[in-house]
Amino acid sequence: MTAKSILVTGGAGYIGSHVVKLLGERGENIIILDDLSTGFEHSILYGKFIQGNTGDKKLVDRILQQHNIDSVLHFAAHTIVPESVENPLKYYENNTCCTRNLLECCSKAGIENIIFSSTAAVYGELETGFASEETPTAPINPYGSSKLMSEQMIRDLSKATELNHVILRYFNVAGSDPDGKIGQSTKNATLLIKVAAEVAVGKREKLFVFGTDYPTPDGTGIRDYIHVSDLAEAHINALDYLRNNGESTTLNCGYGHGFSVKEVINAINEEHGVPICVEEMPRRAGDPPELISVAEKIRQTIGWQPQYDDLNLIVKTSLAWEKKLITHGS
């Protein structure tokens, strides 16, 4: 019998590739399944890559059987909120239906552990701007709804079988690998720090700021930005937690404090040395003034200790990656 392996779905994507890097650096046996619709094969630094979709049950069945998988880290998903509003069925098909198919395969194969990539979008609009794991879920877009449905399927399956899970609800993921080996290469990205860095290096003409009249200190929205390498480390901690017979749980992934859009722009300008072009626009519907995690539970439960809780460092790694992409013609 071959040694136990880990299946990482969506492992060629932004977050998945950073997790694969950490898994590989500690010598894990890794199988990466990705259809490359938004990911990049060159981002995979370790493991065996298989091109395919999590909705392909025959393929997933074969992978789980042939590679002696005991744990699954499930990242594969569409993640663009405006697109989910315009094309909701695409999101329910890929994010929800494909997750259901993956779970059926996991159940048949007797998979022990699954770690699921979820989102703070499951909370919707908040009265206080702060969300704990006990905050009622009320997503306001199909992206958040598609992820919440997947969460519920995982919980229900765990109750009915021996499958154990950790659901990680991400807040605003940003930055790139401090080693400079991988980063966020997503085309037409919508995440603020990524877009601002693209403006700085000339990939985009300007940064649009949606709303400067919020009830916040400087009038712009405040978000909890978490460095992607800290988020990746949370998945390693969660895997160790489950392997040590930890109980199934749901955890927020954030730093517990936020920065405004203007503070992010100032950090970009400081690191870049030249002010980027900004155009102020009206608020977008559904954008809350403030969205910050209550994040004590993840530290207490799985022992997560973030190393990159620094806006200037997040911005620095983002800009460094954009410059590297320019140099390599990407």
Of the candidates 186, 248, 227, the residue with the CA atom closest to the CA atom of residue 10: 186
SS3 25: helix
CA distance 197 to 320: 9
User: Hey, which residues are catalytic here?
Assistant: 143
Two tokens, residue 292? 């910050």
pTM of this structure: 0.95
Helix orientation angle between 142-160 and 98-109, rounded to the nearest 10 degrees: 20
Q: What is the pLDDT of residues 39-88, one digit of tens each?
A: 999 999 999 999 999 999 999 999 999 999 999 999 999 988 888 889 99
Can you tell me the distance from the alpha carbon of 319 to that of 237, in angstroms, rounded to the nearest whole number? 28
Q: Name all domains of the chain by residue range, CATH numbers in brackets.
A: 5-174+225-253 (3.40.50.720), 192-223+256-327 (3.90.25.10)
Torsion of CA 232, 42, 321, 185, to 10 degrees: -80
Question: Which stretches of 161-289 are DSSP H helices?
Answer: 192-200, 228-243, 261-272
Are 101 and 63 spatial neighbours (Cβ–Cβ below 8 Å)? no
What does the pLDDT read at residue 24?
Answer: 97
pLDDT over 90 (residue 150): yes
Judged against a pLDDT cut of 90, whether residue 177 lies above it is answered with yes
Residue 291: strand, helix, or coil: strand
CA–CA gap between residue 173 and residue 79 (Å, rounded): 12
